Amino acid sequence: MKEVQQNHTQIVKLKNLSSKELENNRYLFNKNSVVTLKRIVSKKLIDETLNFLEKNEKIIIKNYIGDKRGLVIENIKNKQFIKYFEYPLAINSALFGRFITADLLNKCKELLEDEVYLRSVEIHCRNPGGTSIPMHQDNSYYGLSNGKACTIFIPLNEKNDSLGDLTYIKNKIGNEYSHDSSNESAFSLEINQKYRDILKRQKKIYKINLSDGFVHHSHSVHYADSVPSNSIRTWAVRITLFGLNEHVKAGHQDWYNEIVKKNRKNARL
Ligand SMILES: O=C(O)CCC(=O)C(=O)O
Ligand SMILES: [Fe+2]
């Protein structure tokens, strides 16, 4: 009898704690469009993933070089490096599938306040001497009516807040900026020049540890500078979830196709 009561008390306590944490995360998510999640992957999984990617990079490039959408590479000093790769699940689901836990999906569901589904899993790389990523909001690409979508960005290296790494700007969910076409490699859209300089001042640096990750909303404003050539290479696993009840705005696809035409040789369709 005594034991049962103790257990009961413990469960209530835990529940209170997690709902407080959740409330705080929801508040920060709505305010900044991004939060950090602690210990969402194990160091063992990170190690295995880095090993796999380093061992298999050449094979991935060889097999997917013709697929302009699925693979974006950078040529640096006559060598080819992956910048984005969209099919990690197709080549090793036993490894990359382990990033998509029920716990992670639940946390994102709570943050978005909607049922979610898996939209994509990608590999991203910041290569020494590599190109920048223009300041953008992901929903300018997705064109979702309510923007209910989020991305879990999981750095695979300890160093992930140096010049050239992904940088977040504080922005409230619901606040969308208009975008112009951009010529950056694989990025066809960027926020209007007139807002960019002001926004850069709202830059927020998050200190995260290896095994933590970011969750950013599709209204999050972010960018990355070009990577200095003396940096270390950094890898990330990027998972995108969409709200189950979302739909693409009328006219978005036609508008986007026009933008892509302007940037045909760089863009991923
Ligand atoms: O490749 C990166 O570092 C960031 C790409 C990005 O904009 C995103 O994950 O939404
Ligand atoms: Fe983005």
pLDDT (tens digit per residue) in 17-69:
478 888 899 999 999 999 999 999 999 999 999 999 999 999 999 999 999 88
> Residue 158's domain spans which residues?
37-262
The answer to the question of residue 26 being in a domain is: no
CB 247 within 8 A of CB 145: yes
Predicted confidence band of residue 16 (pLDDT cuts 50, 70, 90): very low
For the chain, give the longest Cα–Cα distance. Answer: 72
17 domain-assigned: no
Domain holding 102: CATH number?
A: 2.60.120.620
* pLDDT band (50, 70, 90) for residue 161: confident
Does residue 251 belong to any structural domain of this protein?
yes
Residues with CB under 6 A from ligand 1: 124, 126, 133, 138, 151, 153, 166, 222, 224, 238
Closest CA to 235 of 151, 137, 135, 156: 156
Asked if residue 139 is part of any domain, the answer here is: yes
CA distance 31 to 171: 7
pTM, rounded to two decimals: 0.90
Number of domains in the chain: 1
Measure 123 CA to ligand 1 centroid, in angstroms: 10
Ligand 2 centroid from CA 154, angstroms = 13
The reply to whether 10 falls in a domain is: no
User: In this structure, is residue 8 part of a structural domain?
Assistant: no
> Is 27 within a domain?
no
